[in-house]
Structure 1
């Protein structure tokens, strides 16, 4: 796996029962996965020679992020190294402009959009296609967790937006009138087998995923099925191998629009570690190794995951005593990271029959671990 973050750490964990020999290309020895994986190579994923050396002896290469240059992935394939997902698929998660163009070509519902060259172009887009300001601006590559995204209320705002100052391609989108954000997670293998997890509600706070509720409360059955079918169709049309997260807007008029794609295990699927028969991590491994996929069904009527962000307490372990004693059914997953304010350092999951109770348990534990509550 290229990338040594928490996704690699949890994917490695899922591979242990399967006897999978797991190797990681990590930026530093301090990265989350580098602390626990047996075979770690420290190097720069942007360097082709490093990638080629890392790939030697591997049956398959996969990723915990989308940032490896597309041309490097093509070079690995030319060397005979299986890359999953392949570069022709992964580019749709790397480049938002390519993704929007392809999904539009396929008739997949998306926000109205346009690649814009300058603030005047933003103003024209707002007037001609978006129904006016505000407009959302996104760097076509590299943004995540709210980074590389700006909401502008005027051409003047667009004139001082950082992407234009940096001279990078910019995607302008209408600001969608939505009721909530959803995510449809699916997994597809090279021979075309695919499974779909229940559609979840994803609650964002300042651009960062805070809470995931599985399944999405109050989602009409037909809309949930449509979202799953949409994700499965995208996976097939783009020839995705592995896990695909399709982030969605549920609009005020009862539709879903595609917001983002991720072709790797995803934050909206972390609930599956404890709440599904087969986790997203295990199924991603099964898919990239072309093994039969596992059952995606939930174990309980409700599962809630809440991210644990760094706060005022650099050492969270003393809080375990309170959290574990208060809720023996609580599942805590920490990533081995240094604690910094606002940084994702772990997550908790709870599950059960009563959504209000399950949600309160997860919320309390995450807040206590962070130090925002003390009882």
Structure 2
């Protein structure tokens, strides 16, 4: 019997689940937020993911529910579970991706390395943390932040005064300002029966708080016995097991200048740092996520070439549709794989990505960056 996966959220992550679903013989349905979403090819319902009745009606049409994002409210998630719907990852796991304070508390309980942190309820508590941590810190809204939003560097309690009492937050998360040499991401897939599969740890490059480039594997970790590779996979495994995550889990990390590896963020879904797997791995993160949430055997995560470089197209051409630039990029860089998200161009918006794979890192990176430049005005 053909199984049907329901994805809540109509963004590019849902869009990129569609091709592997077709290849696997799986039906896919999407609850999109609006008409004309990135995943409009599979959108069977347009509605508000915060509305319990809408989400329950969508869930009745599928065999398992999963997500394009982590923003579905906990009461709605719990209502799905109470109705007997298979939800992967479940609300008991997603709460730690939705709330940074809860995440830091639970990861600390699990013994996972994280930056020095504290819960603060006012400027005086914030100032005390700053004074104890070298005169600067990072202040976070507990919920709702992504791609650099809801995060600011502060050097005094007054710098965060306007965030206290904001919305329904009675406390904020403050962390040490980590002195890091680079950012990493480790992806792992886990199915309900416990099978796990890991991709190589990757290096991510951020610009203005948004992921701009991913190099797989992270340079210096390509050797089988590399310490960083071992540590990051152990961290991801501990989190996946400790939080009972089903599907793809992305663990974003700092590699510090004093050779520590610290967890920064979690995403319990396919993630920007894993887009390279579509072209650079035997099994992409999108195929693996579908397999995992259906509790099917996981695929091989071996790389198909020594190096993969993925470049996000941010903003895209303002003068014409992004698709109009494809011929130019293909002509000059026929080995580049170009992926568009079906979005209108807008400054800073993720509208697509480019991936190049090969055996020489410098050549691969050059070709990926040059092909992505074809989409800039």
TM range (shorter): over 0.9
Tell me, which stretches of 5 or more residues in structure 1 are unaligned?
A: none
Bigger shift: residues 337-346 or 166-175: 166-175
Ranges in structure 2 where 5+ consecutive residues have no aligned partner? 1-6
Q: Which residue of 1 aligns with 2:192?
A: 190
Paired residue for 2:290? 285
Match of 1:222 among 227, 233, 240: 227
What is aligned with 2:4? none
Give 3-state SS (helix, strand or coil) of 2:173's partner. Answer: strand
Determine which of 299, 313, 319 is the counterpart of 2:319.
313
Q: Report SS of the residue matched to 2:369.
A: helix
Q: Tell me the residue number matched to 2:3.
A: none
Match of 1:134 in 2: 136
Q: How does 1:145-294 map to 2 (within 5 A)?
A: 145-160=147-162, 162=163, 164-166=165-167, 168=169, 169-219=171-221, 221-294=226-299
Contact 2:130/2:155, CA 8 A, preserved across alignment: no
Residue 13 of structure 2 corresponds to residue 7 of structure 1: yes
Given the two structures, how large is their TM-score scaled by the length of structure 1?
0.95
Q: Distance in 1 between matches of 2:37 and 2:25?
A: 23
Aligned 1:57-72 pairs, distance under 5 A: 57-72=61-76
**Which has the higher mean CA deviation after the structures are superposed, 263-272 or 218-227?**
218-227
Q: Find 1:123's aligned residue among 127, 138, 145.
A: 127
Asked if residue 55 in structure 1 is aligned to residue 59 in structure 2, the reply is: yes
In 1, Cα distance between equivalents of 2:364 and 2:114: 33
Deviation, structure 1 residue 103: 0.5
Counterparts of 1:14-93 in structure 2 under 5 Å?
Answer: 14-34=20-40, 36-37=41-42, 39-93=43-97
Q: Helix, strand or coil for the counterpart of 1:318? A: helix
- Could you tell me how far apart the structure 2 residues matched to 1:203 and 1:45 are? 31
Equivalent residues, number: 366
Q: Secondary structure at the match of 2:97?
A: helix
Partner of residue 345 from structure 1, selected from 348, 351, 375: 351
Report the Cα distance in structure 2 between the residues aligned to 1:84 and 1:243, rounded to whole angstroms.
Answer: 10
Q: TM-score normalised to the size of structure 2? A: 0.94
Q: Residue 317 of structure 1 aligns to a residue in which SS?
A: helix
Measured in 2, the distance between the counterparts of 1:172 and 1:313 equals 41
